């Protein structure tokens, strides 16, 4: 039979359908979706993804200019001349590939420089880079906890933390989203584990809310648990450089994980913390050890980006100005959004059909906004996810709002008409 969603595919596998049969079913479903204009991997980017981008859709043909509201390039650094120049210089000097894992071939000076800058920026003793933020979380968590230990993750923690926790062989527990009291109760039942690790995000990737890092840290200290904060979306975004700085807790968090792919505008990940712990991770995180080191041009560009972030604070200010404007306007239009302004604005739709209709209409109007469905978010909280950058102009935001309101009206989603209840 035809499938209409990724959920049905996952369900088919859970029910024991073989991979060949499931893949065939999926291919059929994708064809049908493409026929209706949905083509998840169909968009081809013809230039750098900044506040707008030129694309083609193979099925439709022709080039189009879209307002980009799906990229995490929060400060617009992926095209910053200093970052591009640093990458070019490093490519000329060191080539584009790193050859092998740092344990086998060694480390380039651009990488060492970046690690030192990241440690300084996060006010920690040391930092170690990974090829992606995903592999940083997987490598860090799976190396620091094992079978005698427990890892307690926030219910909304990113897949990379959950995967790292599963891979570690440690006992995995979940606490209610950003609920320090619940974490306290969970930790009270974890006295017999050797190492206790709590894993949260600084700004949550799908809801855009800031974690109460201070309250969570207090509870961790009470129970002698270590705290890992994934600062993927908060690095360079929260005033001061990240969530630890925002809460005045620099140097206090055991492990800060981050990505180089969002505000830093490049690609890669890192962990920052105390010297001994970071050294241990360097030697034991399998996703770093058994993987080729990130390429020198990317390391050099990220290093330049860390400087630009600090030298040009007006980028962060502009980002937040955009966040406040967009958040206020969406609320005024009657959309269900998060409580506080954030560079990530979830517009909760809660209905797959309405969301598909809106996404299609927005794309037809050249607004690139992602829709997010299960398993990335809970069933019933399907959403459009707006990502803002410092480079969005007021005109672009106003145009996106106009299209959102129109699409929302057409799908019956604004001004309280058929807003579904939150799960």
Question: Residues in the site for ligand PMP, rule: CB under 6 A?
Answer: 132-134, 137, 158, 160, 201, 205, 230, 232-233, 259, 261, 269
Q: How far is the CB of 74 from ligand PMP (least distance, A)?
A: 12
Show the CA angle centred on residue 158, arms to residues 384 and 79, nearest 5°. Answer: 65
Return the number of the residue (143 or 205) whose C-beta is nearest ligand PMP: 205
Sheet strand arrangement including 383-387: 344-348, 383-387, 370-372
**DSSP run (H or E) holding 218:** helix 213-222
Structure tokens at 418: 């058929």
Q: How far is the CB of 133 from ligand PMP (least distance, A)?
A: 2
Return the number of the residue (126 or 201) whose C-beta is nearest ligand PMP: 201
Q: How far is the CB of 399 from ligand PMP (least distance, A)?
A: 26
**DSSP helix/strand/coil, 406:** helix
Return the number of the residue (108 or 134) whose C-beta is nearest ligand PMP: 134
Return the number of the residue (9 or 161) whose C-beta is nearest ligand PMP: 161
| Contact (Cβ atoms closer than 8 angstroms) between residue 239 and residue 205 | no
Q: How far is the CB of 415 from ligand PMP (least distance, A)?
A: 32
Backbone dihedral angles phi then psi of residue 89, each to the nearest 5 degrees:
-60, -45
**DSSP run (H or E) holding 154:** strand 150-154
User: What is the per-residue burial (b if ≥16 Cβ within 10 Å, else e) of 269-291?
Assistant: bbbbbeeebbeebbeebebbbeb
Structure tokens at 142: 């799976």
The 3 state secondary structure assigned to 34-72 is HHCCCCCCCCEECCCCCCEEEEECCCCCCEEEEEECCCC
Return the number of the residue (205 or 396) whose C-beta is nearest ligand PMP: 205
| 375 preceded by a cis bond (ω within 30 of 0) | yes
Return the number of the residue (143 or 160) whose C-beta is nearest ligand PMP: 160
Q: How far is the CB of 335 from ligand PMP (least distance, A)?
A: 22
Q: How far is the CB of 200 from ligand PMP (least distance, A)?
A: 10
How is the chain split among helix, strand and coil, in percent rounded to 5?
45, 15, 40
**Residue 129 CB neighbours (<10 A):** 25
Q: How far is the CB of 57 from ligand PMP (least distance, A)?
A: 24
Show the CA angle centred on residue 252, arms to residues 246 and 255, nearest 5°. Answer: 95
- The half-sphere exposure of 344 on its side-chain side, counting CA atoms within 13 A, is 24
Q: Which residue is nearest to ligand PMP (CB)?
A: 133
Q: How far is the CB of 21 from ligand PMP (least distance, A)?
A: 30
Return the number of the residue (134 or 247) whose C-beta is nearest ligand PMP: 134
Return the number of the residue (66 or 162) whose C-beta is nearest ligand PMP: 162
Return the number of the residue (161 or 413) whose C-beta is nearest ligand PMP: 161
Return the number of the residue (141 or 225) whose C-beta is nearest ligand PMP: 141
Q: How far is the CB of 175 from ligand PMP (least distance, A)?
A: 17
Q: How far is the CB of 205 from ligand PMP (least distance, A)?
A: 3
Give the residue from 232, 246, 210, 237 showing the smallest Cα distance to 317. 237
């Amino acid at each position: 039979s035809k499938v209409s969603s990724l959920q049905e595919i996952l369900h088919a596998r859970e029910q024991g359908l073989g991979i060949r049969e499931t893949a065939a079913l999926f291919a059929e479903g994708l064809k049908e979706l493409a026929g209706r204009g949905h083509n998840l991997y169909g968009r081809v980017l013809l230039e750098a993804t900044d506040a707008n981008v030129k694309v083609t859709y193979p099925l439709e043909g022709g080039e189009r200019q879209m307002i980009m509201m799906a990229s995490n390039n929060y400060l617009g650094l992926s095209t910053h001349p200093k970052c591009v120049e640093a990458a070019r210089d490093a490519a000329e000097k060191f080539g584009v590939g790193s050859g092998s894992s740092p344990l086998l071939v060694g480390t380039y000076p651009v990488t060492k420089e970046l690690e030192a800058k990241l440690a300084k920026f996060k006010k920690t003793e040391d930092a170690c880079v990974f090829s992606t933020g995903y592999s940083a979380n997987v490598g860090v968590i799976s190396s620091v906890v094992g079978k005698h230990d427990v890892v307690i993750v926030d219910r909304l923690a990113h897949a990379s933390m959950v995967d790292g926790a599963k891979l570690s062989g440690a006992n995995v527990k979940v606490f209610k989203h950003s609920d320090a009291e619940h974490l306290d109760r969970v930790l009270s039942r974890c006295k017999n584990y050797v190492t206790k690790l709590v894993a949260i995000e600084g700004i949550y990737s799908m809801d855009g809310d800031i974690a109460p890092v201070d309250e969570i840290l207090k509870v961790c200290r009470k129970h002698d648990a270590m705290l890992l904060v994934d600062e993927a979306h908060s690095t360079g975004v929260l005033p001061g450089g990240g969530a630890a700085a925002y809460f005045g807790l620099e140097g206090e968090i055991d492990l800060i994980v981050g990505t180089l792919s969002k505000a830093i505008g490049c690609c890669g990940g890192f962990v920052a913390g105390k010297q001994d712990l970071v050294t241990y991770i360097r030697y034991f995180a399998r996703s770093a050890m058994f993987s080729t080191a990130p390429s020198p041009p990317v390391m050099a560009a990220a290093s330049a980006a860390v400087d630009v972030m600090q030298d040009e604070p007006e980028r962060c200010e502009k980002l937040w100005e955009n966040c406040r404007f967009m958040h206020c306007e969406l609320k005024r239009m009657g959309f269900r959004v998060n409580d506080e302004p954030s560079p990530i604005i979830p517009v909760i739709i809660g209905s797959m059909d309405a969301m598909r209709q809106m996404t299609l209409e927005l794309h037809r109007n050249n607004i690139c906004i992602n829709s997010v469905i299960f398993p990335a978010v809970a069933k019933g909280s399907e959403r459009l996810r707006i990502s803002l950058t410092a480079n969005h102009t007021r005109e672009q935001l106003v145009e996106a709002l106009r299209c959102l309101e129109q699409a929302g009206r057409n799908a019956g989603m604004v001004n309280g008409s058929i807003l579904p209840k939150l799960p």
